[in-house]
Chain A
């Protein structure tokens, strides 16, 4: 069965390593914070200027001066710090953040990503996404395998305006975990009960399947 959004977040959380600073984008990526594996310590960065982001506040304890990049009210953990936007993006471009997880509308087989603009329809802006994807060493895209119309989001070439070029290394969808290398998607894991054939049929870009593909363990 295909994963739901929580399942995707849960699978991505398995990629976290002790001592990492992690930037989570809006949407599915935000949910990753709910599944930190036991025994490891990670700190979440939000590009509007906080390191050590904690959970949402209790009702009545919201602070208008304390929000995340999604403009949601948050709290901080012990050891948190605040900083200005230039310092925040110095952390990001300077590769001091070990992992970036973000959503996407399209990803191509060479690692291009599009997630900020639908010409003539949606023009909200890129926010920090272009800075994040241009610099991070380790980018995981969290998204559904197909869009609402049933069209594959894993493509030969992105059709939408790009956010970054050849930068995505890993994609976790409701159907699979895929690595991007040498100009192709490499199937690493399948969602429980999802067949290689189904993944193949829903992946427009080149898909490489090597031997038995294990199921994810969640």
Chain B
């Protein structure tokens, strides 16, 4: 089944104001940078963005924040972004902070047909406020619900025309779960291959979860914290 679309402009078609988007990536690692740039150009607003982080001031989701296109962020960690902090403290931006593991599992659940699940993470903290508590094996757990999105936008290393995806190193992170949870999932890849070229044993995300795939024009792949040692 051919999922290939021409370019990024075609990829983001149908994304409208006030929609909910999931965007893969951890920090700036494995983010769909081509699609983010297209969303900026498109100037859709009132977005709810589900993403582990909010980018930095001038890259990643930070670009949508600068442009005031985001109404609400659902994330686990949002440091490293002054504009984010400013908008949040001034009340312009609604923010839902949730534990990283719960965020991952809520996306996975959304794609897997599990409406909710119990987790120990966050019990006894602000995160548990208003949530059902139940004790299993003597330990309290809180009920967390699945997350869904109108569009999930992910970034992979290699993909094929059927939408099968392979990720590289830690750029995998949230991408596979988000790919599962989007009504429409857009995948931007560094290398787009004909179906049959990827080894079926080594596919991370099966093409069934991907509706649109395209080769990204350019990947800047910015490094947030460049740490090295001397030889």
Contact = CB atoms under 8 A, between A and B. Distances in A.
B125 A49 contact: no
Interface residues of A, number: 50
A73 interface: yes
A75 to B, nearest CB: 9
Contact of A65 (B29, B95, B204): B29
A70 interface: yes
Given A56-B229, A66-B170, A93 B29 contact: no
12 contacts: A48-B29, A66-B169, A67-B29, A84-B175, A84-B177, A86-B107, A93-B119, A123-B89, A124-B78, A125-B77, A125-B79, A126-B77
A134 B98 CA distance: 14
B135 to A, nearest CB: 13
Interface string B151-189: 000000100000000011111111111000000000000
Given A49-B26, A59-B228, A71-B224, A93 B121 contact: yes
A126 B122 CA distance: 10
B100 A64 contact: no
A127 B53 CA distance: 9
A165 B172 contact: no
B174 to A, nearest CB: 5
A68 B226 CA distance: 11
Contacts, number: 179
Nearest to A80: B169
B101 A93 contact: yes
B228 A89 contact: no
Interface in B55-112: 75-80, 85, 88-89, 95, 97, 99-105, 107-108
B207 interface: no
A129 B100 CA distance: 8
B30 interface: yes
A71 B225 contact: yes
A15 interface: no
B100 A131 contact: yes
Given A58-B230, A85-B52, A127 B223 contact: no
Contacts of A131: 99-102, 119, 121
A71 B78 CA distance: 13
Contact of A130 (B26, B127, B169): B127
A124 B221 contact: no
Interface string B119-131: 1111111110000
Contacts of A73: 223, 225-228
Given A65-B170, A71-B29, A89-B105, A128 B123 contact: no
Interface in A45-79: 46-50, 55-59, 61-68, 70-74
Nearest to A121: B89
B169 A86 contact: no
A5 to B, nearest CB: 16
Interface string A125-144: 11111110011000000000
In this complex, the member of A70, A86, A93 whose beta carbon has the largest number of chain B beta carbons within 10 angstroms is A86
